[in-house]
Chain A
Amino acid sequence: MLDFIFPNYIVPDLLLLLFPFIVIGARLFCTAQSKLPWRIANVGFIAIFVLLNFIPLANGAGKFFISNWKVDDFGILMREVLIISAILGMWLSKDYFDHSGEKEQMHQIAEFIGAIAFATFGGFAVVSACDLLTFFLGLEIATIPMYALTAWNKKDQLGSEAATKYILMGSVATAFELFGFSYLYGFAGSLHFSEIQAAVSSGTSPLLWVAVLFLFCGIGFKLTLFPFHTWAPDVYEGAPTPVTAVISVTSKATAIAFLVVLVYGPFAPIQEQIAPLIALLAGTTLFVGNLGALKQSRLRRFMAYSSIAQAGYIMVALLGPASIAKTAIIYYLFIYAVSNYLAFFVFGIIGHYREETFASLRGLSKQNLGLAIALAVSMFSLAGIPPLAGFFGKFHLFFSSASTGHYAIVTFAVLNNVLALFYYIQLIKSAWVDEPEGTLSPLRLTKRQRNVVILLTIAIIALGILPFLSNNVFSGFSL
C-alpha cells in the first residue's frame, strides 16, 4: 500500500455510479417476476446511506478527489437527503409495479430504479462540483432521467403530454443556464469556482450580472420559482404519483443545492447585491404558490402549488450568512422530504383505489384513522405548526434571513404562512370533518405502506419534539 491512502469518502459516490448498472444488469439474468433487482436496489441504497453516515462531518473545507470532486459537510448532508428521497421514492413506487388497482400498472422496475439512481447521482455531482463543467453536467444528469420518469407509462396520454411540456421547457431553461455559464466564463476567464470567486471579488461588470440573471432564471425553472413554475402543476398532475414525489423532492433538492453552491461559492462576494433579486424571487414564488394552492381540488396539483410555495420559503434562507443558511436549508430539506413523502404515500394509497381529489379524502378519519392521522401530521408539518418538525424547519429558514436583517421578507413569508395554513387545513378538514358523498371504494394498505407511513409519521413528530436528534446537522456547520 505504501503511502497510497484510499480515499474512502468517495466510496458512496462510486457505488451510486455503479449501482444503476448493477440493478439494470441484474434484470438481464432473471425473469420479469424476479425480485432480485428490487432486493439489490434496497440493499444498495441502504448501504450507500449507511456508508455516508460513516464519513465524519466537520472536516473544514472538505476533501478533494482528483482535485475536482469536493466532499464537504454540506455535500455529505445533501447526499443523505438525496439518498433518503431516492429510497422513499423507490418504496413508494414499488406498489405501482406490483398490483394495478385503479391505475395502470407500471413496468420495468429495474430501469425505473436505475433512473432514480442516475438522478440522485446528478445531485451528488452538483454538490461535489468545483468547476462549471461538472456543475452543469450534474444538473443535466439530475434532470434528464426526470423527463423519462414522467413519461414512464407509455400509454398514458396525460403523462406523455406532461413529459413533452417538461422536456421542452427544461431545454429552454438549460439554454438559459448555458448562456449564463458562458457569460460567467467570459467574465472570469476560468471554469474553476475558486478563480471565478476571486474574479468576482476583485470587481464586477455587466457580463457578470447577465450571467447572474440567466443562471437564476434557468435554475428558477427547476426550483419552480415564479414565473418559471408553470410546468409544475401540469407535470405533477400528469406524471405517475411516485415520479411526482421524486420530482418534488430530489429535483427540488438538487436545484436548491445548485443555488447554495453558487451563492456561497462563486457569488459569495456579491451576495449583498443579489439579495433583492433573491428576496423578490422568494416572495413572489411563495405568494403565487400559496394563491394557487387555495383553489385546487386535485391532490397532486395541490401538492404542486404547495411545493412551489415551499421552494419560496427555502429561498428566503439564502439571504442569510453561509453557515446558518446551509444548516437551515439542509435541515428543512430533511423535514420537507419526510413530510412530502408522507403526504405522497397517503395520496398514493388513496390513488390506488380512488380518484386523487379532495373528495376522495372525505370521511377518511372514520374509514382509516391511522391514515387520517398521518395525513394531518404531514399537512401540519408542511404548514409549520409546532411542535411538529416543520415548524422548527421554517423557524431556522426565517432565522437565517432575519440574522442579516431582512425582516421585510421574513414578515411577508410569515404572513403567507397564514394563507398556507388555510389550504393545508382545508385538506385536513376534508379528511376529518366532511362526510363522503356517495360510497367510496375501501382502502387497503400493504405491509410496506403501513410500515413506511408509521415510520415517517413518527419521524416528523420525533424531529419536532426531540430536537437533539438533529444535532449532527447543526454541529456540522459550527463555525
Chain B
Amino acid sequence: MISDITLGYLILLFPLFTFVVNGLFLGNRNAKAAAALAVTCNGLAAASAIIVAIHYFASDFAPQKAVLFEYVFIPFASTLVAKIGMLIDPLSVMMLVVVTFISFMVNIYSIGYMREDRSAGRFFSLLSLFSFSMLGLVVATNLFQMFIFWELVGVSSYLLIGFWYHKPSAVSASKQAFILTRFADSFFLFGIVLVSYVVGSFDFSTINALTLSAFKASTINLGLCTVSSADALILGSVMIFTGGWGKSAMFPMHIWLPNAMEGPTPVSSIIHSATMVVAGVYLVARLFPFFTICGNTLTLIMWVGAFTMVFAAVIACTQKDIKRILAYSTLSQLGYMMFALGACKIHMVIAVTGWTASTFHIFTHAFFKCSLFLIAGSLIHQVHTNDLDAMGGLRKKMPITYVCTLISVLAISGIPPFSGFFSKDEILLAAFQGHHYVVFALALLTSGLTTFYMFRLFFLAFHGKPRHEGVRAGHVHEDFAMTLPIAILAAPALLSGILCKGLFAKFFVPGRLRVPHLLRLAEAEWIPFAAVGVAIVALVLAWLFYASPKAKIQRALDESNRCGLYKVVYHKFYFDEMYYAVVRQFIFGGIARVARAFNDYVIEGLLAFSVWFIHKLGDLVRTAQAGYLPFYLGTLIVGVLLWRFFGQLPL
C-alpha cells in the first residue's frame, strides 16, 4: 500500500510531469500520445486524490490539520521563512478531489473537442499546468506558497484563454484577464507583505490563530502615515481579499470572466468549476479565522458577494450567447459563495453555518457547472455557433446530453433532490441566521432568476423547432469522448448534495474558531419551501415564455423591440465600454502618452546627445593625430607640465 505522503506527492507530480513531457517532447509531434498521457496522468492524480480523501475522512484524525511535507523555499530572515508544503485538512482534501476529478473529466472531453486542432499537444500540456498550479494553491501551507501558485494559475489561464492566439478577440480577452487579475494581485501581494511584516510569519496556522488585541499597542509606519498594528492587519486583510476579489471576478472586476469565453470551451469549463475563479473563495475560506478578527472585512465580503450575485443574474437573463449565460451564472454562484462566507458575522459573534455552506457550494457547483460548460461545448461543436438564435430542437438529436443538461439545470436551480438544492439551502439559512435579511431576500430573488435564465437556456436550446439548417438536415450527433464526461458528471451533479451533506456537516468547520456555544441560531424550517417555491414559479415563467405551445419564440429572441432598461442590461450595463473608455482615454491616452514623451524626448535626447558628444571627442583625438613630429615632441613636454600641475603630487 502506498503511503499517504507518497500519494500527496503523486497528486502534484502527475500533472507537472504531464506538463513537462507534453510541453517539451510530445506536444508538437504526437497529439494523440499527448492526449493519452494527459488523460492517464490526470486520471491517476484523481485516483490518488480520492484515495487520500477516503483515508482522511475515514480516519479518526479527520477534522484536524496535517502537513504531509514541507520544504524551506526562501529563508528571508531567520524568523521569516517561505516554505513549500502540502497541507491536509477537510477543505484542501475536498478541493484536491474536485480539482483532480474535474481536470480528469475535462481532459477526456478535450480529446473530442480538440480533435481537429493542430496544436492539441500544447493544449494538453497547458491544461495540466493549470491543474498543477491550482493543486499547489489549494495545498499551500502559507501565504507565500499560495501567492506563487496563485500567479501560476494566472499565467496558465492567460495562456489557455489566449490559446487561439490567431484570433484577436482571444488575445485581447487573455490580456484583459491577466492584467485585471494581476491588478488585483498587486494588492494581494501588498497585503501579504503587510500581514507577514506585522505577524512575522507566512503560515496559515499562525495567521489564523491571531487575536487582534495583541496588536493594539504597537504601531507601524506605512510611509505615508503611522497606524497601529491592529489597523495594519485590518488593512492587510482587505488587501488580501482584494486578490480574491479580482480572481473570483467579483463586481466591478468581473468583466474579464465573460470575455474569457474566447478560450476553448474545456478551458472555460475548468476555469469556472475547479480552478481559477474558486481560488478567490478558497482564499477567503482558508483565511476565514483571520478575516473574522479583522473588523468589518467580512461585511465587505458579504456585500461584494451579494451585489455580484444579483447583478450577474440579471445580466444572464438577457444574454443569447450560451457560454456568456453560463459565465454570468458562474459570477452569480460565486457571489453566493462569497456572501455566505461574509454572512457568518452576526454583529460581534461568528456563526459557522455560512462557511460550511460556502465550501459545500464550491463542491456541488464544481460538478454541475463543469457539466454545463461541457454541454455548451458539445452544442457549439455540433451547431458551430454560440448563439441561442441558431439552436432549438436538439432534444431528439442529442438525447443523452439532453438528460444530463436537465439534471445540471435542475441542480443549479436548487430543485430537490439535486445537489444544488442542499448547498443553496444552507447558504440561505446562513443569511437568515445572520439577520442579514436584505441579503437573504436578494438571495431568494436570485434563486428565482437563476432558475429562470437556466431554463430559458434549456428550452431555447433543446425544445421548439430547429432554427439551424445543420440541425434540420440531421448533421448533429453526439461525440463519444465528449458525451462520456458529461454523462459521468451527471452523477455527482445529481447525487453529491444528498450524499455529502452529512460529511460537510460533520467535518467542515473553519479550524480554531471560538464560537460561543450558547449562541442560539434561528431555525427556519420554511426556507427550503420558500426557495423551491420561488424556483418553481420561475421555471413556469420560463416555460411560458420560451417553451409553451403559445410562446412566440421569435419575438422573445428579438432584442430590438425592447425598452431602454432591457437594452442596458443586455449590454451588461455598458461595463465593458466603461473599462475601455478608462483604459483608452486615461491610461493609454494620458499616462502612457506622457511616459512615452518622457522616453522619446528626455531619455532618448540625452542618449543622442551623449553619443554625439563622444563622437565629437573621438574626432578631436583623431585630429590631434596629425602625424607631425614636432607636435608629437611638444606633447611630451606638455604632458610633463600637465601632470606636474594636475597629478596632485606634493611638489
A-B contact count (CB 8 A): 88
The reply on B649 being an interface residue by CB < 8 A is yes
Interface residues of B in 613-651 (CB under 8 A from A): 614-615, 617-622, 624-625, 627, 629, 631-633, 635-636, 638-640, 642-644, 646-651
A112 part of interface (Cβ distance < 8 Å): no
In the assembled complex, the Cα of A206 lies from the Cα of B644 at a distance in Å of: 12
Q: Is A30 an interface residue (CB 8 A)?
A: no
Contact (A169, B651) CB under 8 Å given A227-B642, A291-B617: no
Chain B residues with Cβ below 8 Å from A209 are 649-651
B642 nearest CB neighbor, chain A only: A227
Known contacts A176-B640, A291-B618, then 17 further A-B pairs from the complex at CB < 8 Å, ordered by chain A residue? A168-B629, A212-B649, A213-B651, A217-B639, A227-B635, A227-B638, A227-B639, A228-B635, A228-B636, A230-B625, A234-B627, A277-B643, A277-B647, A280-B643, A294-B614, A295-B621, A296-B622
In the complex, which residue of chain B has the Cβ closest to the Cβ of A171? B633
Are the C-beta atoms of B636 and A169 separated by less than 8 Å? yes
Q: Is A334 an interface residue, CB under 8 A from the partner?
A: no
Report whether over half of chain A's contact residues are helix, strand or loop; otherwise say mixed. helix
| Residue A172, interface by CB 8 Å | yes
Q: Which of A198-249 contact B (CB under 8 A)?
A: 204, 206, 209-210, 212-214, 216-217, 220-221, 226-228, 230-231, 233-234
Question: For residue B640, which residues in chain A have a CB less than 8 angstroms away from its CB?
Answer: 176, 213-214, 217
Q: Are B643 and A295 in contact (CB under 8 A)?
A: no
* Complex CA–CA separation, A97 to B473 (angstroms): 92
Given A273-B650, A281-B643, decide whether A295 and B632 contact each other with a Cβ distance below 8 A. Answer: no
Majority secondary structure of chain B interface residues (helix, strand, loop or mixed):
helix
Inter-chain contact A213/B622, CB cutoff 8 Å? no
How far, in angstroms, from A403 to B515 measured CA to CA in the complex? Answer: 64
On whether the beta carbons of A231 and B632 are closer than 8 Å, the reply is yes
- Docked CA distance A212–B648 (Å): 12
Docked pose: A168 CA to B636 CA in angstroms = 11
A179: nearest residue on chain B (CB-CB)? B640
Asked whether any CB of chain B lies closer than 8 Å to the CB of A126, the reply is: no
Alpha-carbon gap, A165 to B650, bound state (A): 33
Which residues in window 299-326 of A have CB below 8 A to B?
none
**B627, B647, B650: most-surrounded residue (chain A CB, <10 A):** B647
How many A residues are at the interface, by size bracket?
Answer: 35 or more
A contact residues vs B (CB 8 Å cutoff): 164-165, 168-169, 172-173, 176, 204, 206, 209-210, 212-214, 216-217, 220-221, 226-228, 230-231, 233-234, 273-274, 276-277, 280-281, 288, 291-292, 294-296, 419
B629 touches A165 (CB 8 A): yes
Of B617, B618, B633, B635, most buried by chain A (CB within 10 Å of CB) is: B618
B548 → A minimal CB distance (Å): 76
**25 A–B contacts from the bound complex (CB under 8 Å):** A164-B629, A165-B632, A168-B629, A168-B633, A169-B633, A169-B636, A172-B633, A206-B651, A209-B650, A212-B649, A213-B643, A213-B649, A213-B651, A217-B639, A221-B636, A227-B638, A228-B636, A230-B632, A234-B625, A276-B647, A281-B643, A291-B614, A291-B618, A292-B618, A419-B614
CB distance from A87 to the nearest CB of B (A): 32
- B620: min CB distance to chain A, Å: 8
* Shortest Cβ distance from A162 into B: residue: B627
- A212 contact set on B, CB distance < 8 A: 649
Looking at the assembled complex, report how far the CB atom of A335 sits from the nearest CB atom of chain B, in whole angstroms.
26
A460 CB, min distance to chain B CBs, angstroms: 27
Q: How many residues of B contact A (CB 8 A)?
A: 29
Q: Are B615 and A295 in contact (CB under 8 A)?
A: yes
Are B625 and A233 in contact, CB atoms less than 8 angstroms apart? yes
Q: Which residues of B contact A220 (CB under 8 A)?
A: 639
Closest to B616 in A: A291
Chain A residues whose CB sits within 8 angstroms of the CB of B647 once the complex forms: 213, 216, 276-277, 280
Q: A213-B651, A230-B632 are in contact. Are A292 and B621 (CB under 8 A)?
A: yes
> Quick check: B649 and A273 within 8 Å, CB to CB?
yes
Chain B residues with CB under 8 A of A164? 629
Nearest-Cβ distance from residue A158 to partner chain B, whole angstroms = 10
Cα(A288)–Cα(B622), bound, Å: 10
Interface residue from A206, A230, A276, A419 paired with B648 (Cβ < 8 Å): A276
The answer to whether A294 and B639 touch across the interface, beta carbons within 8 angstroms, is no
Q: Which residues of A contact B638 (CB under 8 A)?
A: 227
Residues of A within 8 A of B639 (CB): 217, 220, 226-228
Q: Which residues of the other chain, B, contact A226 by a CB distance below 8 angstroms?
A: 639
- Are the CB atoms of B621 and A277 closer together than 8 Å? no
CB distance from A409 to the nearest CB of B (A): 13
Residue of B nearest to A226 (CB): B639
Tell me the complex Cα distance, A50–B648, Å. 45
When distances are taken between beta carbons in the complex, the residues of chain A under 8 Å from B627 are: 234
Q: Nearest residue in B to A237 (C-beta to C-beta)?
A: B627
**Which residues of B lie under 8 Å from residue A294 when comparing CB positions?**
614-615, 618
A227 vs B646: C-alpha distance when bound (angstroms): 13
Measured in the bound complex, the distance between the Cα atoms of B627 and A169 in whole Å is 13
Min CB distance, B230 to chain A, in Å? 46
Contact code string B555-571 (vs A, CB < 8 Å = 1, else 0) = 00000000000000000
Cross-chain contact B636 with A280 (CB below 8 angstroms): no
CB–CB B619/A295 < 8 A: yes
Query: Which residues of chain A are within 8 angstroms of B632 by Cβ–Cβ distance?
Result: 165, 169, 230-231
Chain B residues, CB < 8 A from A168 = 629, 633
Contacts of B649 in A (CB 8 A): 209, 212-213, 273-274, 277
Contacts of B617 in A (CB 8 A): 291
Q: Nearest chain-B residue to A304 (Cβ)?
A: B625
Residues of B within 8 A of A227 (CB): 635-636, 638-639, 642
CB distance from A176 to the nearest CB of B (A): 7
Q: Which residue of B lies closest to A175 (CB)?
A: B636
B648 partner residues in chain A, CB cutoff 8 A: 276-277, 280
> Which A residues lie within 8 Å of B646 (CB)?
280
Look across to chain A and name the residue whose beta carbon is closest to the beta carbon of B651: A209
Closest to B637 in A: A172
User: Which residues of B sit under 8 angstroms from A210, Cβ to Cβ?
Assistant: 651
Q: Min CB distance, B64 to chain A, in Å?
A: 53
Q: Are B643 and A292 in contact (CB under 8 A)?
A: no
Chain A nearest CB from B533 CB (Å) reads 76
Query: Looking across the interface, which residue of chain B has its beta carbon closest to that of A169?
Result: B632
Q: Which residues of B contact A234 (CB under 8 A)?
A: 625, 627
Closest A residue to B647 by CB, please name it.
A277
Bound Cα distance from A173 to B639, whole angstroms = 11
B636–chain A nearest beta-carbon distance, Å:
5
Looking at the assembled complex, report how far the CB atom of A160 sits from the nearest CB atom of chain B, in whole angstroms: 13
Shortest C-beta distance, B641 to chain A (Å), equals 10
Bound-complex Cα distance A281 to B646 (A):
10
Min CB–CB distance A238 → chain B (angstroms) = 10
- Residues 324-338 of chain B: 1 if any A CB is under 8 Å from the residue's CB, otherwise 0? 000000000000000
Closest A residue by C-beta to B646: A280
Name the residue in A168, A213, A221, A276 with the highest tally of chain B Cβ atoms < 10 Å from its Cβ. Answer: A213
- The 8 A-B residue pairs with the shortest CB-CB distance, nearest first, are A294-B618, A276-B648, A277-B647, A292-B621, A227-B639, A230-B632, A295-B618, A291-B618
